[in-house]
Amino acid sequence: MSDPHPARTEPLRIDLRSDTVTTPTPHMRQAMAEALVGDDVYAEDPTVNELQQEAARLLGFEAGLFMPSGTMTNQVAIAVHTQRGQEVICAEGSHIYEWELGMMAAFSGVVPRFVEAPRGVPDPEGVRRAIRRSIHQSPSGMISLEDTHNKAGGTVLPLDVLAGVREVADQEGLPLHLDGARMMNAAAAQGVAPREIARHFDSVSLCLSKGLGAPVGSVLLGSRAFIAGAHRYRKMMGGGMRQAGILAAAGLIALREGPALLPEDHRRARELAHALMGAGYAVDLDTVQTNMVYATIPQAQAKSDAWAAQGLLANALDVDRVRFVLHHQISDELLVRATEIIAGK
Ligand SMILES: *Cc1c(COP(=O)(O)O)cnc(C)c1O
């Protein structure tokens, strides 16, 4: 018989390209096999409903909606919060614009307005200055923050900044969305309950398939009325899944068991940062706050190709920048081997 898990027989592979590369744990596979399911487009999948309710409870919202990806949860949120011709105020480098293929324009007819954000952190007064009301300009429709901020290095937004932007949003009457793909990393890094972050927002997008380890899925959280609106746009985008409880079952395990593993990823990221510096590569240690390390590496693509040939995978994101992302399937042993490859041993 052929091996049902051929990946396990492959040669050494230390995959630090992203935390999306995690594969489902045995516990997840068991839960998937045993999941109760129904037709989720009719809201009749008990496991999806359980996941949505549990995520909503955890983050302090009335309701949640399960979707295949974080791009979809973000873009559905934008569709619900905005009207065509408006602007979405967001930190420079935000995933909702940089890596979501112009979807805010293509689907919702809105454009981004970036706010300066050193190390991913915008100044609440900078957000206020970006707000537009004049009849000669496209009006502001919503504000969106990203925590942790991916492109800035997985950096954490301090809670007082969240409170400051919340105050601006309230004063200006604008909805405030969180692209919280990795908000569990932000909570772990600050040692706070996730709802201490979520409580500042009208809606939150949380990825289950990043560091939390689920194979597929994100959840959008908000008020009951907001989620009712989100249902319609999810279906328009083709995100109405049927017996999705198979996926939600893994998502529930990710939500329950994933967060406890994140501090170890963060510790290993710092160790990797020091190893990279030891090998002569520059790293801004102040940005190494969670599970990512961005290193300055000349001829990044050639270097990452050479490392890949030895089994170490990392993403060259620029001519001289390589991103390494830690996740729960990188053990201390694999990390040691990675640092040896980086050191040229
Ligand atoms: C990964 C990610 C998303 C969602 O990505 P998908 O691949 O569509 O699930 C959204 N925001 C941030 C910051 C991300 O890192």
* d(CA 130, ligand 1 centre) in Å: 24
What is the gyration radius of the CA atoms in the chain, in angstroms? Answer: 20
Q: Does residue 108 have its Cβ closer than 6 Å to ligand 1?
A: no
Q: pLDDT tens, 56-81?
A: 999 999 999 999 999 999 999 999 99
**Distance between Cα 340 and ligand 1 center (Å):** 30
179 lines ligand 1 (CB under 6 A): yes
pLDDT above 60: residue 23: yes
**Minimum CA distance residue for ligand 1 atom 3:** 70
pLDDT over 70, % of the chain: 97
Spacing, Cα 181 to ligand 1 middle (Å): 6
CATH architecture of the domain with range 261-342: Alpha-Beta Complex (3.90)
DSSP 203-241: EEEEESSSTT--SS-EEEEE-HHHHHHHHHHHHHTT---
CA distance 91 to 162: 13
Q: What is the dihedral of CA 94, 110, 228, 44, to 10 degrees?
A: -70
pLDDT of 11 reads 76
Is the confidence at residue 256, as pLDDT, over 90? yes
71 lines ligand 1 (CB under 6 A): yes
Class of domain 26-257: alpha beta
Instruction: For ligand 1, atom 6, name the residue with the nearest CA.
Output: 70
**Tens digits of per-residue pLDDT, 175-203?**
999 999 999 999 999 999 999 999 999 99
Domain with CATH 3.90.1150.10 in the chain: 261-342
Is pLDDT at 5 greater than 60 in this prediction?
no
Q: What local confidence, expressed as pLDDT, does residue 345 receive?
A: 81
How much distance in Å is there from the Cα of 21 to the middle of ligand 1?
A: 13
Q: What is the pLDDT of residues 123-151, one digit of tens each?
A: 999 999 999 999 999 999 999 999 999 99
The pTM score is 0.95
For the chain, give every residue range classified as CATH 3.40.640.10: 26-257
- In angstroms, what is the span from residue 206 Cα to ligand 1's centroid? 9
